[in-house]
Amino acid sequence: MGFLSPWFLVGLFGVGVPVFIHLLRKHVTIPHPVSSLMFFERGIQSSTRHRRLRYLLLFTLRLLLVTLIVLAFANPFLRRPVNANQILLVIALDSSFSMRAENRFAEAKRQALQLLSSKPRSRRAQIVSLGGHIQLLTEATADPNQLRAALDGITSGDGHANFSDLARSIRTLSESRSEPIEIHLFSDMQRTAMPGNFTEVALPAPVNLILHDISKKRAVANWAIESVSAPRDVTDPKDPAQSKVKAVVAGFATTETEKTISLIVSGKQVAARTIKVPPNGRTVVEFAPHELNYGFNRCEIQIEQNDPLPEDNVARFVIRRVDPQRVLFIHNASDQRSPTYFGTALNAATHGAFILQPMVAEQATNIDPARFAFTVLSDATALPTIFEHALEQYVMNGGSVLISLGLDAERQSHIPLWQGSLQRPHNFGVSNAATIGQVDFTFPALEQNHPSRDNGGWGTTKVIYAASVEASGARVAAKLNDGTPLLLEKQIGEGHVLLFTSGLDNFTNDLPLSPVFVVFVDKTARYLSGNEHVQGSQVVDSFVQLRSSTEGLKENPKKANAVEVLDPDGHRPLSLSDARSSQTFRLARTGFYQIHFANGREAVIGVNPDPKESDLTPISPEMQSLWMAGNKDQRKVAEHVTADKKYRTLSLWWYAMLLAFVVAVAERILSSRHLETQREAI
């Protein structure tokens, strides 16, 4: 027996309180009237009788009550031995992509099944799969058939293992259970699966980690296609600036070797290169596919020679050949410069992928915006009613619109599609022109990985005129130095509305004269047309956004636009209900996925394994030993792990408090009977 809070035992000095109360009780004498004291002799009254302990049962109950309360707060416990059957056995099997090398997965499963067969029949166990994400395949059970079926059902996947996710799941499992846990991890112990911060894989003291290294602690030479850079859409395959494809071939724990790299388009080899890969290094190889069919072309770059992990010798990507897409540009009749500036920048940036079709607002009555990649409203706030209604339906169904507010917007309080009125305009003038003070470089139309000191080129732009609009419910991507929103976005249905509160000419600002204007037009065109919505190549366990909005899904799920997903085997992984309600979809396998989005657009995506899985170097034996023993901050705890596994503690706190309550009730009943004022006999 022990005490978790032994300092509370100091309270045992409180047992003197009942003794003090019983010994120093007040003696009460009731006076009696007599006629004369002449016949009374003076005597000395003894106090011995009044100092004696009385009501011994009550006295004992009070001593016991104080003692029980003190012991309860000291939290006494009993340590009882725990046999092996009371320790939860967790079998974690690594099913990540790297386990395909050298038949490692089959060997790991064989060892795991052998461990499962050797466990006592009454001992409970749990099966965990470690792949792209952690899966608890069973609850804690002693049923050998259920455990074996779960272990047999694990197949080698395409995901990337992460030991920090495993440690996080085991910590959660340990918090929900009182018994100790013994986890056996069967893995190739890949170095890239270990996080940079070792504390992320630390396990609590009641967990005993046992590692089964299938790699035998040795690095294996392996080559892989590490990355591919290819255009998403191509209008002229014979233009090298449009169709150039770059691939990075990497070697891990390798010597200098010659490799033959091939480009496959729609199942046909169109080019091949022989390159030298330096020791444990990388080489870039370029291709220019000149023959592409219209539509989606499924492409692969392959390393022809095999190695221990041949599945990563293939990189999949998709190139779509399309005709130049038309862009509807509605402008004010007096605005002749905006179409020129925007069209010139669009042609220079996209190499003819888009064709601008300018049109005056009054001529747009019978125009169907659904026939265009996206629509631009330049200083055109007064639109024909029929066209504005068609534009609203176009945006709700997934179309996108760019609105710029020029000088003519001062005479109109209504902004089409924006669902907000125009407020007081800001006319700064040439001498007091405003500058762009804040830019959100994570916004797709403004995205820059490493913006320069001049705010990514936007800081030198001078704004002479900008309208003030209601920004509630909108994402503000850029602001002027006085806080006026310059670029805003609203999600309407499945589409986007992008609002530029200044003009696209050089009267309201000098942005069209700046080099950053070409980049802005390029990114805006690709964002609004949906060409950057999904890349042609993704990594396993990436998520694809199936719909832009969830409005109305709960209220009217039957009216929601359905999506369609075809996996690499041609199966539909989404049920009918999921097809109308799912917001995202996880790409769980390598291969080509075909997706029909809620906004009507289609895409084919080539999915490849995580490049980290190609490095087959295991973590060092010292690191494995440190992981099993615990980190430096837990060394003192690790020394007692063995003892903690052999014993389990049983707290006696509730029992002590329950007994104290019973004693208190008995003391109350007994004291009410005996502690009344007693009369002295004469």
Q: So what's the pLDDT on residue 303?
A: 96
Say how far apart CA 94 and CA 130 lie, in whole Å: 5
Q: Tell me the per-residue pLDDT of 301-329, one tens digit each, with 9 for 90 and over.
A: 999 988 999 999 999 999 999 899 999 99
Structure confidence at residue 193 as a pLDDT band (50, 70, 90): very high
Fold of 84-219: Rossmann fold (3.40.50)
Q: CA 285, CA 648: separation in Å to the nearest integer?
A: 62
Q: Identify each DSSP E strand in 501-560 by its residue range.
A: 537-539, 542-545
Rounded to an integer, what distance in angstroms lies between the CA atom of residue 430 and that of residue 462? Answer: 9
Answer whether residue 657 shows pLDDT above 90: no
Name the region of 217 (left: φ>0; alpha: ψ -120 to 50; beta: rest).
left
Return the minimum-mean-pLDDT range out of 75-79, 232-236, 534-538, 575-579: 75-79
Query: Residue 675 — very low, low, confident or very high, per pLDDT cuts 50/70/90?
Result: low
- Residues with Cβ within 8 Å of 285's Cβ and at least 6 positions away in sequence, in order, are 246, 247, 249, 261, 273, 275, 301
| pLDDT over 50 at 611, yes or no | yes
Q: Which amino acid does the sequence have at 122?
A: S
Instruction: Find the mean pLDDT for residues 335-353.
Output: 89
Give 358's strand partners: 329
Domains of the chain by residue range: 2-74+653-674, 84-219, 240-314, 325-529, 538-608
Beta bridge partners of 298: 318
Q: What is the pTM of this model?
A: 0.72
Question: Does the pLDDT of residue 641 top 70, yes or no?
Answer: no
Average pLDDT over every residue of 438-446: 91
Name the residue with tokens 């020129």. 340
pLDDT at 671 over 90: no
Q: How far apart are CA 259 and CA 253, in angstroms?
A: 15
Q: Which CATH class is domain 325-529?
A: alpha beta
51-79 pLDDT, tens digit per residue, is: 455 567 777 877 888 888 877 777 787 76
The pLDDT of residue 635 is above 60? no
Secondary structure (DSSP) of 592-632:
EEEEE-TTS-EEEEEEE--GGGG--PBPPHHHHHHHHH--G
Q: Tell me if 118 sits within 8 A of 219, measured CB to CB.
A: no
Question: Do 325-529 and 84-219 have the same topology in CATH?
Answer: yes
Mean pLDDT of 657-680: 72
The 10s digit of each residue's pLDDT in 536-567 is 899 999 999 888 765 544 445 555 678 999 99
Indicate the pLDDT class of residue 679, thresholds 50, 70 and 90.
Answer: very low
Give the pLDDT score at 643: 43
**Mean pLDDT along residues 623-629:** 89
pLDDT value at residue 253: 93
Strand blocks (E) in 370-510: 374-378, 400-404, 426-427, 434-439, 462-463, 465-466, 475-480, 485-492, 495-500
